[in-house]
Amino acid sequence: MKFNLKQLFNITGESKDISYTIPESDLSDIRGYSFASPVEIKGRIYNKADVVYLDYSVDLTLLNTCDRCLREFERSYHFDFSHIVVPSVSSDNDEYIVAESESIELNDIAVTDMLLQLPTKILCREDCKGLCMVCGCDLNESECNCLNN
């Protein structure tokens, strides 16, 4: 969703509330992740002492496959983010969100932030035992004697 920030850059104390969802169809291009529901974005963009801040939270539910036992499961995540938004920067700087033409595309920012926070190893539970390397038995559900022989 595109937000025009011209008024926020010009008026100290100005703010805009954010509350919308990114549908699963808009997230289908993200490889390696399946979304079980729309991603909810809630927050605020505000000008405090002539500095524009973007504070928001992301709530999402992913359809995951456990990296150890290959079981499919759903897991919900909640992340909070905070950024400073500037109209331009004089050099390469990853600390700020640059508002090209005094606007930002919050979907792109939220998806990038969200992907950087998701775990790289996804387990159905922390103590997942995985699969037997010999017979493929799910060691969370039963024991086998393959490795004991």
- pLDDT at 17 exceeding the cut of 70: yes
Residue 67 confidence (pLDDT): 93
How far apart (Å, rounded) are the C-alpha atoms in residues 65 and 13?
46
How far apart (Å, rounded) are the C-alpha atoms in residues 52 and 103?
12
- pLDDT at 149 exceeding the cut of 60: no
Number of H helices, E strands in the chain: 2, 8
Residue 18 confidence (pLDDT): 94
pLDDT in tens, 70-122: 999 999 999 999 999 988 877 676 788 888 888 899 999 999 999 999 988 89
Pair 122, 68: CB distance under 8 Å: no
Query: C-alpha angle 82/62/56, rounded to 5°?
Result: 15
| pTM over 0.85, yes/no | no
